[in-house]
Chain A
Amino acid sequence: MFLAASLTGPDIPWSHLLPLLILLGSTCALLLLGSLVPTWPRIGNVVVTMTAAIASIIASIVDWNHLYWHKGDTFIADAIAIDRFSVFATIVICVAVAGSALLMSAYLSRTDSEGPELYALFMTAAIGAIVMVSANDLIVLFLGLETLSLSLYLMAASNRRREESQEAGLKYFVLGGFASAFLLYGIALVYGGAGKTSISGINTSLATYVSLHNTDGMLLVGIGLLMVGLAFKVSAAPFQVWTPDVYEGAPTPVTAFMASAGKVAAFAAMLRILTVALGSRADDWRPVVWALAILTVFVGSTMAVVQTNVKRMLSYSSISHAGFILVGVEAAGHMKGNGLNSSMTYLAIYTVLVLGSFAIVLALSGVNDSDTTLDDFKGLAKRRPALALAFSVLLFAQAGVPFTAGFVAKFGVIKSAVEVNSYAIAIAAMVAAVIGAYLYLRIVVSMWMEEPTSSDEIVVAAPVRWVIGLSVAATLIIGIFPGVLLNAAELVRFAPR
């Protein structure tokens, strides 16, 4: 009793936490309804999830407008930072939740599975992701990361009728745990080097003690370990090895979610840690990000060249995209650069592209979720021209063809790199993009220039159609009128330190 009395808890900024609260509440509600109401309709799951996601988006937009004047701040004893960065990322994550949940509904009805657990996991993953993007404390960040990761492990392994799914889950889990340990060790050593686990605190501390002596060793190796963990999460080469296997094995909606929300959260965490906490050590980590970026773009695009499974191709392409975002991260290490904004723009656009792309893969992948080879895409233009066109738009967007959102994204990061004189990395990324384009062209060739191998009717469920349609529309609209998105991304800032 006396303990409680002597405690003066920190203020809780409830309004800023609305997205988290909405999602958490919906999770609990969903689980309760699903287990307690016997006649709970299957469609209720996706409705609740969508409602939660959309409500969170709305709450975030309201918050965004609020933050338009207030640059944001840290709350709850510096545990989290609510700023335009975190709100922007939150919106993107919620969009990913909404899209993936729609896909999941189609997926589940096709595989005749049920249960609200997967939707609940989407939402807990989103909670983890949102915590990650707004964490102002390495421990909080770690907890968010684990919440996200554990949800993802489970989702990846969730199709228990499909062995690949379980294999993916286990691989992801083992390697994820391995990488988490590195990350955690990094947190520990950075804690040792800077004396804090708070991100803004580390920034102050590193700025205060310009320690030319001694703790640098521990601090820097700590940063290194941190970056190993983060690089794993963003699937930067050579830490990308898990990505293709897990993306291929996981149920397609989950893959879409991992590639979108998972990436957003990981990159957001990376950006916040590197630029806010370790901004003063940019000279140390920028070369590493530089190398990671170049390695990642090349590994991603090169390895995709000989693949024959479209889902796997897209996972390699996601690695390549991660490399591009790393280009932006590298630029963000420069004080004057706007790598932060361009990386976030890239992530937002990539989320749209990846949802649409995997929606199409889902549409074609058949009941057992395995018809995803190039052969299955042959002659799609003859079978379903609209679907082929939509996929082509999304693929060309990923390749960075103008008038699509993908170009805006690529242009943005290259611009931010060039503006801070990182020419080599910009050129390397562009060259890798050319190699990567081969991958997209191969899929396009299959769809448009080859004869169909099967004449089965392709049934595209309504939710999938919605996702594809919205994603293609967004791709083109952003590609032609990127102004709104760019202006919003220009405002993305961290809370004042």
Chain B
Amino acid sequence: MAAPQVDLSVELAGLSLVNPVLVASGTFGYGTEYGELVDVGRLGGICTKAVTLQPRAGNPPPRICETPAGMLNAIGLQNPGVEVFIGEKMPALREFGVPIIVNVAGESVADYVSLAERLSDCADIAALELNLSCPNVKRGGMQFGIDGELTERVVAAVREATELPLIAKLSPNVTDIASIGEAARDGGADALSLINTLLAMSIDIDRRQPMLANVTGALSGPAIRPVAVRMVWEVAQAVDLPIIGMGGITSAADALQFIMAGATAVAVGTANFVEPGISGRIIDDLEDFCQQAGVACAADLIGAAHGSSDVEGLQ
């Protein structure tokens, strides 16, 4: 274990996180699923599985399949709805004593507003993460996140409806991620989460059918990390909001790529499935890295790779 002198804490959208390592929405359930295996209380925070106004059954199976250094999923936002979430999931989540960031998804601006209002009444929610980017549902979801105007509109409407810190979660399936980040900022977001998954697909050549019943799915895991780092880098340059960086993080070294690209915090997603204790390991290794690099505060590394002068080329 590392000596205590490294300060891993970061400030994000008004929250004080003891360390910058969160778990990503949809990859850690409601915390309890991993309770036996993971010291959840050490986490910087938990982003819950997306909650919708009404319960959702989700998509038919098969819902997942493996791809090179990645996986596809098309869960389709299966969840018990906001009332059950508040009544049955929040009590256990509270017990962990870490910031709970509730990921919300709607089919309309009104849905997001209602969710925000309802969750504002619930104690111990640290922030809302607006999922504007789920590629696996027919209505809502990604439709918001790929359109700057809609993004601004939904964020602004939710901004009116709640005092909770708002984190807009962006879709990578866009031509210009920075402009979507700007739109979220203009709508009043306190922070940005990126990236959600890449829209993708695999085909079962023997059955001559898509691998997933939903046809397309959401690509996550190490495969997408370079795309995610690039997007964090671009958004950090364009938008003056704190960023939660994610996409294929499997180690402290990966997390540091995001931090140096400009993320204030990071979220571990798919890697939780493979190595449940990975977030704890990343926290330890971040501390070690800082110690060995003589960095007193991890926050000093935020954006550290920016501003290094471009190498000049030949004509």
A binds B: no
